[in-house]
Chain A
Amino acid sequence: MPPATILIVCLVLFSAAVIGILAARPGFTAGRGGKILAFVAMFCLPIFCGLLGFSSEMQRSKTTAFCLSCHTMEDYGKSLLVDDPTHLPASHYQNHRVPVDEACYSCHTQYAMFGGLKVKMYGLKHVFIYYFGTPPAPQDIKLYEPYNNRECLHCHQGARSFEEGVVHNADPATLPAIKSNQLSCLSSGCHDTAHDIAHLKGAKFWEKGN
């Protein structure tokens, strides 16, 4: 557990203990000092602890381990280790083009205003379906909306390999079409192998990745 989380847990437990004492002896709050203590302990500290804890949970919900902790996502985790550079997620993960600890979130967030919040709501929907609904088979899972080039361009725009790439510049209309999301990076036949769960059984895996 990271030291920051340990500190938050200690603060939360301290707050709970102080509140517990005040709840057991409400008479403490009769005087002015007691009222101030009660206000700090029963109003300021819970809000502060709640926000700290929420921030920590949000940060942790971005981790690859968090996403792959659901059974349904196991095959998607395996697909990151396919030994084939044409597999887009695998090549990004294995070559650290995305942070390894936040691999899923880096590509599946939306780099737009409230994008992070929107994908967290999608995540809550996943959890709801996982526990209270019927989760689809891993190969049948679809994105809620078509993958937007904006997520690729967040890192690749301005990079020499992207801006001066031979294929990207073969036709002068290609690069503007990519940047305006009219020509999809993934579904226009260029970088179209993403995860490919259906064919994972026969795939070769990068052993060092385990």
Chain B
Amino acid sequence: MLSPSQFEKRMRFAGICLAVGLLIEALCLFWATPIAFIVFVAIGGLLIFIGLVVYLYSVVSAPAVGD
């Protein structure tokens, strides 16, 4: 089981990935060019995917109440 500090570290990492991914996606929405589309999908999408996976992993591996 994860210690609370490990849980917090993972939550922080997931949050940073998600926030940066969303900011990149917001920036890409300002430009109607093919490179913005690629950055939106490849970088923004990848960061959001990593953030979601890390968040879910940190939730399922968090210490249960009473442990």
Contact = CB atoms under 8 A, between A and B. Distances in A.
Given A12-B29, A54-B41, A70 B34 contact: yes
A20 B37 contact: no
Contacts, number: 111
A66 B18 contact: no
A61 B32 CA distance: 7
A65 B35 CA distance: 14
Interface size class of B (residues with CB under 8 A): 20 to 34
A155 interface: no
Interface in B28-55: 28-30, 32-38, 40-41, 44-45, 48, 51-52, 55
18 contacts: A8-B29, A9-B29, A12-B23, A16-B22, A19-B22, A20-B15, A27-B8, A38-B11, A43-B52, A47-B48, A49-B25, A53-B28, A57-B28, A60-B37, A63-B32, A66-B33, A69-B32, A69-B34
A122 interface: no
B15 A23 contact: yes
A43 B56 contact: yes
Interface residues of A, number: 42
A123 interface: yes
B47 to A, nearest CB: 10
A146 to B, nearest CB: 25
A20 to B, nearest CB: 5
Contact of A46 (B12, B21, B33): B21
In this complex, the member of B22, B28, B37 whose beta carbon has the largest number of chain A beta carbons within 10 angstroms is: B22
A79 interface: no
Contacts of A20: 15, 19
B40 A42 contact: no
Interface stretch (A88-96, A111-119, A124-132): A124-132
Given A23-B11, A38-B11, A49 B32 contact: no
A27 B29 CA distance: 32
B11 A1 contact: no
A11 B38 CA distance: 21
Given A50-B48, A54-B41, A61-B37, A12 B11 contact: no
Interface string B50-67: 011001100100000000
B11 A29 contact: yes
A139 interface: no
